[in-house]
Amino acid sequence: MKSITENPVYKFLLFPIGQILIFALGASVVLSLVTVLLAFIFKFNVTDFDLVERTMLILPQVVINGVTIGFVYATIALGYTMVYGVLEFINFSHSEIFMVGGIVGIQLMAYFEHIGTLATMNEYLVIALAIILAMVVSGSLAVVVERLAYKPLRGAPKLVPLISAIGMSFFLQDIVRLILSLTTGEFNVILPKFGTFDEFWKLAVPGMEDPLRIQIKSAIMVGVAVLMLVGLNYLVNGTKVGKAIRAVAQDRPSASLMGINVNQIISITFLVGGTLGGAAGVLFALKATKLDPFSGFFPGLKAFTSAVLGGIGNLTGALLGGLVLGLLESFAASYLGIFTNGAFGAEYKDIFAFAILILVLIFRPSGLLGQTVGQKA
């Protein structure tokens, strides 16, 4: 038995992928059941059509959307949760790091379109290049931000770096806007059209009239996110650097006494978080197709909510939190309007995340899985 758990293929490939699958399936099934139950309860409220039937009809699509966006949230949330684990500090500007990644990715594709090679290039290669460039840029930006705005404040009261991070977040938003408007004359960036990503794979499911439609984009988003998560899992649990990160998170002074270069490890943490954020930015851009310097704000907040929901400082928790939040949001956006007969609609989905955050913090401040880093009084 021991030999299986020690086997690296199992430990770093099968186990995490299995875990991700279980989380995604589990969260989807639980939330679907709750929704169907709610549909039965709210049936009296809707007279125009059969609520249960309508609910069942759109359910698969809602779940797919939720899981897709959930993986993006989870990838961003890892950046928050890693930094929190190491420094006990909310890296407010992470949402802007994510936004920069998305914009850089789109700009690269726009550049390919500009020089005329976009149509002839392999579409997957384009996306891979965009993601890699975004990872490099976002990762370096995160390290620079840490050096400039957070490092001088280490050891200061907690509010001080937090306020600096808020300032950095605002500063980055407008600096990106300034650069974009000075170079292109406009600060909205739009994903160029290429490839076949908007098309659907149709999967015939026995027992259903319509085939299940999965957009190729969604599959790419999920695939890349899973790759990132597995890679991160290996980095943190399978390498020497990962061990050092965990040691610094657990006890900084002792780690430094053991010969770990704490400053370097903190930089690496920001680098890893930023890299993940950059990749998530490109994935988000694929879905949103249009970004501006302020579009990092809400996804960033939701990713933070995911991190808290799962238990901040806990990497597995961030994954679960992201999936649950993505699904919840997708359900809220699709069903709130139907269930309340149009009184409330999808426009409340952005504040839905906050409602969940507040509820979690009241009833379970350490999050769903949080035992790693609780709130230290």
Partner 1 sequence: MNTLFGNFFKKANTGFWPVLIALAFLLIGTFSVYQSPRSLAAFLILMSTPLILYFMKMNMKVKVFIGLMLIVIILPVLGIRNIFYLEVIFQMAVFAALALGLNIVIGMAGLLDLGYVAFYAVGAYSWAIFGSKQLSLLYSVPGAAPADAPFALDPRWFWLFLFLGVGLAAITGILLGLPVLRLKGDYLAIVTLGFGEVIRVLALNLDKPINLTNGPQGITPIQRPPLPPESILQFFRDILEPFVGHVPTDAEFYNVFFYFLALIIIAIAILVATRLEDSRIGRAWTAIREDETAAIAMGIPLVKMKLAAFAAGASFAGAMGALYAANRTFVSPETFSFLQSIGVLTMVILGGLGSIPGVIFGAAAVVLLNIQILQNFSLYLSELRQSDAVIPIINFAWKDLSNQLDPAKYQKLVFGLILILMMIFRPSGLIPAERRKRELVEEKE
Applying CB under 8 A, the residues found at the interface with partner 1 are: 89-90, 148-149, 152-153, 156, 158-164, 166-175, 177-178, 181-182, 185, 297, 301, 304, 308, 342-344, 347-348, 350-351, 353-355, 357-358, 361-362, 365, 375, 377
Shortest spacing between CB 173 and partner 1, in angstroms: 6
Residue (15 or 348) nearer to partner 1, CB: 348
Residue (48 or 209) nearer to partner 1, CB: 48
Shortest spacing between CB 107 and partner 1, in angstroms: 17
Considering only CA atoms, which of 37, 22, 64 is closest in space to residue 222?
A: 64
β-pairing, 212-215 with 189-190?
unpaired
Distance CA 13, CA 17 (A): 6
Residue (224 or 356) nearer to partner 1, CB: 356
Residue (90 or 108) nearer to partner 1, CB: 90
Contact 308, 363 (CB under 8 A): no
| CA contacts within 13 A on the Cβ side of 65 | 14
Q: Which residues, listed in sequence order, are joined to residue 213 by a DSSP beta bridge?
A: 202
Shortest spacing between CB 80 and partner 1, in angstroms: 10
Shortest spacing between CB 362 and partner 1, in angstroms: 5
Specify the DSSP class assigned to residue 207. Answer: T
Shortest spacing between CB 312 and partner 1, in angstroms: 9
Shortest spacing between CB 336 and partner 1, in angstroms: 11
Distance CA 225, CA 279 (A): 8
Distance CA 375, CA 162 (A): 16
Considering only CA atoms, which of 291, 337, 65, 296 is closest in space to residue 186?
A: 291
Residue (127 or 336) nearer to partner 1, CB: 336
Residue (14 or 179) nearer to partner 1, CB: 179
Specify the DSSP class assigned to residue 211. Answer: P
